[in-house]
Amino acid sequence: MSDLLETLRQEGVDPALLEAVQQYRAAHPLAAELRPRIPSPAFTYYGKEVWEQALAALLCGENLLLAGGKATGKNVLAENLSAAFGRPAWDISFHVNMDAASLIGMDTFAGGQVVFRPGPVYRCAQCGGFGVLDEINMAKNEALAVLHAVLDFRRAIDVPGYDRIPLAEETRFIATMNYGYAGTRELNEALTSRFVVIQMPTITQDNLEKLLRAQFPDLTAKYVHQFALLFLDLQKKCDSAEISTKALDLRGMLDALRLIRRGIPAGAALDMGITNKAFDSYEQGLIRDVIAARIPAKLDAGKLFG
């Protein structure tokens, strides 16, 4: 059993599901040249219920839509799922000017001839990979219409002027979306109906503490608790729209802890990892106040790591 599946077993994820994943892996071996595409996650997603729902959905052959706010672990889960199933992953980051060509592929001009250059969705479909459609609701709905046949029962890509490519059996798509985030749009019904949707919960204090302990096994219990609460304090401030989501950055908090370990005082490290990500000085003041109410600015590695 892989390390990740072993961790999931310890987290209490249904053993029957884990067994089914093992069988899936055994039944679908992967060509050697695709192995480097299997992600090796730096973080583990914690959350038993979400894991069970996601594993069950993918085992049933469904595509997954992970909907949730910033720092709910959507991408971590997507990456973890590819790793758990042992499939190569294609990360496709959506943006406002995304069009069908950037997904499926486009014509290009090479050697005096128009040739088709496959896009990531095309490659993923050929190789039976997991396509991570990141921030899917950033793109315009008309650009996404090309995915309809890929995601529903037809499971095929039909590029006008070229062959119809059936999806490899193992292919799954995991989309992520941050609903209501500035710059995003409603996902249309036709596309949404082609996914099963998991509403990603905000990370709980328990899971946050697990994550901190996994990343920093020597972090003292007192500060594991305080850093977890700090993150939740920032989350509340974002939810109430007093600060933007720029400071709600779990990665940034982990980076700050690494900096403290390297000898930077806590105040400066948290400035670098969290506060300075909001470039507006007033907002920085509000963020610093939240931090000061949990973590002393002069705290150093000696007191933090036991």
Residues that bind another protein (CB under 8 A): 96-97, 99, 101, 106-109, 112, 114, 138, 182-185, 222, 226, 229, 233, 236-237, 239-240, 242, 244, 279-283, 285-286, 289-290, 292-296
Nearest Cα residue to 81 out of 121, 126, 129: 129
Cβ atoms 199, 67 nearer than 8 A: yes
| Minimal distance, residue 160 CB to another protein, in Å | 11
3-state DSSP assignment of residue 103: helix
Q: Which is nearer to another protein, 26 or 115 (CB)?
A: 115
Pairing of strands 156-158, 130-134: unpaired
| Minimal distance, residue 109 CB to another protein, in Å | 5
**Which long-range contacts does 233-241 make (Cβ < 8 Å, 24+ apart)?**
233/290, 233/293, 233/294, 234/274, 234/287, 234/290, 235/71, 235/202, 237/286, 237/287, 237/290, 238/70
| Minimal distance, residue 290 CB to another protein, in Å | 5
Q: Which is nearer to another protein, 237 or 277 (CB)?
A: 237
| Minimal distance, residue 143 CB to another protein, in Å | 10
Q: Which is nearer to another protein, 9 or 288 (CB)?
A: 288
140 has which bridge partners? none
Phi, psi (5° rounding) for residue 67? -110, 135
The whole-angstrom separation of Cα 162 and Cα 48 is: 44
Q: Which is nearer to another protein, 83 or 278 (CB)?
A: 278
Q: Which is nearer to another protein, 101 or 190 (CB)?
A: 101
| Minimal distance, residue 60 CB to another protein, in Å | 33
| Minimal distance, residue 257 CB to another protein, in Å | 16
Q: Which is nearer to another protein, 48 or 236 (CB)?
A: 236
The whole-angstrom separation of Cα 174 and Cα 79 is: 9
The whole-angstrom separation of Cα 66 and Cα 78 is: 8
3-state DSSP assignment of residue 52: helix
